[in-house]
Amino acid sequence: MSKALNGRVTLVTGASRGIGYAASLALAEAGSDIIALARTQGGLEALDDAIKEKGQSCTIVPMDLNQAEGIDRLGAIINERWGKLDGLLANAGMLGDITPIPHLEPKTWDKLVSVNLTANYRLIRSLDPLLRASDAGRALFLTSGVANSRRAYWGAYAATKAGLEALVQCYAKETEVTNLKVNLLNPGATRTAMRAKAMPGEDPQTLPNPSDIAPLIVKMLSPTYAETDQIISYRDTL
């Protein structure tokens, strides 16, 4: 892979496993330094070691995205150390329970809204000045096909992803005359722990690996990627 991201700094949420982990490695391999955010300290430390082996810097941030004030502090820390942010991969998400809407516990609903929707608003609010300070800021948010298919029993997850798409596409239109490009990516069914929880009877060997999705993420976070306000499906790129 070419060093398309030399000199760039990219923040990845949900970086300790799955798509976030694989994307962090691919972004580092392309030359970017990584700010890796996740709840799991052990996974972040393993990622840190792997990225440093590739000759790139990795700054780990063990944090729960429910900590809204922590997101605000993160923006201030990035500004103090780097003065800009070249890329944001907003990958972290929560599945919740696959259940009829009347059976969904209020605390589960509140947490889904907090992680899948509110945290992304807080990231935009905190990081927007830093992304604009880059000569080619790129922000990429992960969504899901259920945002539009709206399958039975997926109501809470579908609602938060639909809300995320609306939020991000409004933000993309607000930044369309700047150097910042804002997009969404639907990776589709992928061999992750979240997918295994949602579809326990599914053969994971039939699904793409997170590492299969990673090159598309690198492309969409590269300074040469000129599209904005798009929802890209990984399956449509094959």
CATH number at residue 198: 3.40.50.720
Give me the torsion for CA of 236, 120, 223, 3, rounded to 10°: -90
Q: What is the mean pLDDT of the chain?
A: 93
Query: Which one of the listed residues 157, 171, 225, 234 is annotated catalytic?
Result: 157
Res 68: pLDDT: 87
- Does a structural domain hold residue 3? no
Q: Is residue 176 part of a domain?
A: yes
On whether residue 44 sits in a domain, the answer given is yes
CA distance 234 to 79: 32
Does residue 226 sit within a domain?
yes
Are the C-beta atoms of 160 and 92 separated by less than 8 Å?
no
What pLDDT does 5 receive?
Answer: 96
- Specify if 120 maps to a domain: yes
Tokens of 56: 């790139």
Q: Is residue 193 part of a domain?
A: yes
Q: Is residue 4 part of a domain?
A: no
Residue 79 lies in a domain: yes
Cβ neighbours, 10 Å, residue 113: 17
Q: According to the model, what pLDDT value does residue 2 have?
A: 56
Query: Number of structural domains, the chain?
Result: 1
- List the domain range (segments joined by +) for residue 116: 9-237
Q: What is the pLDDT of residue 1?
A: 47
- Rounded CA separation 34/14 (Å): 13
How high is the pLDDT of residue 188? Answer: 73
Q: What is residue 238's predicted lDDT score, i.e. its pLDDT?
A: 80
Which residue ranges of the chain lie beneath pLDDT 50? 1
pLDDT given for residue 71 in this prediction: 95
Q: In sequence order, what DSSP letters do the residues of the chain get, joined into one string?
A: ---TTTT-EEEEESTTSHHHHHHHHHHHHTT-EEEEEES-HHHHHHHHHHHHHTT--EEEEE--TT-HHHHHHHHHHHHHHTS---EEEE--------S-GGGS-HHHHHHHHIIIIIHHHHHHHHHHHHHHHSTT-EEEEE--THHHH--TT-HHHHHHHHHHHHHHHHHHHHTTTSS-EEEEEE--S-SSHHHHHH-TTS-GGGS--HHHHHHHHHHHTSTT----S-EEEGGGG-
Look at residue 209 in the predicted model and tell me its pLDDT: 86
pLDDT at 67: 87
* Annotated catalytic residue 153: no
Confidence (pLDDT) at 196: 66
